[in-house]
Amino acid sequence: MKLHEFPGAPNPKKVRVYLAEKGIEVASVPVDIITGENRKPVFLEKNPMGGLPVLELDDGSYLPESLAIIEYFEDLHPNPPMIGTTPLGRARVRALERLIELSVLGRIAVIFQNTHPLFASRLKQSADAAESARGALATNLGVLDAKIGSNTFAAGDTPTIADCTLLAALQFAEFAQIPIDPAHTNIHRWYESFKQRPSAAA
């Protein structure tokens, strides 16, 4: 198998962190999104949506979408479990991961797309959209901070896919120069701790 990705981008990053936590090795195929390689016909044959990462399977087929890739590997390699061990536990981990993906990483992406010069020629940037996303991000981070509480990891005492997505989100925020309010002490504590794990460098 091969993982088509752009190193450093948040969605490939969360898959890489997950694979590292599981001890799974997958060859990397870089795709340059800066030059638009992911929008060219050769890549669009792999994923018509142009998104990354894309997992190339041994039979020559392709699986897009980071969460689908993670859950595919989780089914293949259930131990150590990273999406919970009971129906309710798995549901809670998935719910927290979706909160982080949609309400934190998603808001960071909107701010970045509407303020960074990279996107000036790619879409109609909106200062209002960026400002609205900043307000939503602040609210959502407060919710997330409360959910993490005193947990060692985002969802409890063991690492899960929620940690993988949160690391990718916060590193993306650093890259985009979007500060995380110091008042969110649980998030900052979690971040400083998780960054020390070998998987964080994946």
Q: What is the CATH number of the domain that holds 115?
A: 1.20.1050.10
Q: Same structural domain for residues 49 and 119? A: no
Q: Rounded distance, CA 59 to CA 27, Å?
A: 15
In a domain, 178, yes or no: yes
Q: Same structural domain for residues 184 and 108? A: yes
Q: Same structural domain for residues 57 and 94? A: no
33: three-class secondary structure by DSSP: coil
What pTM was computed for the model?
0.96
Mind listing the pLDDT tens digit for each residue in 128-159?
A: 999 999 999 999 999 999 999 999 999 999 99
In a domain, 112, yes or no: yes
Q: Rounded distance, CA 184 to CA 55, Å?
A: 35
The confidence score (pLDDT) of residue 148 equals: 98
CATH number at residue 26: 3.40.30.10
The confidence score (pLDDT) of residue 166 equals: 98
Helix axes 161-175, 66-76, angle to 10 degrees: 150
What is the token pair recorded at 121?
Answer: 């020629």
Identify whether the C-beta of residue 19 lies closer than 8 Å to the C-beta of residue 164.
no
Q: Same structural domain for residues 128 and 158? A: yes
Q: Rounded distance, CA 170 to CA 193, Å?
A: 13
Q: What is the mean pLDDT of the chain?
A: 96
Q: Containing domain of residue 124, as a range?
A: 87-201
In a domain, 82, yes or no: no
Q: Same structural domain for residues 126 and 62? A: no
In a domain, 81, yes or no: no
pLDDT at residue 29 is higher than 90: yes
Distance of CA 115 to the CA centre of its chain: 20
pLDDT at residue 41 is higher than 90: yes
Q: Rounded distance, CA 105 to CA 101, Å?
A: 5
Q: Rounded distance, CA 76 to CA 136, Å?
A: 36
What total of structural domains would you count in the chain?
A: 2
Mind listing the pLDDT tens digit for each residue in 163-190?
A: 999 999 999 999 999 999 999 999 999 9
Q: Same structural domain for residues 60 and 142? A: no
Mind listing the pLDDT tens digit for each residue in 62-105?
A: 999 999 999 999 999 999 999 999 999 999 999 999 999 999 99
Distance of CA 184 to the CA centre of its chain: 20
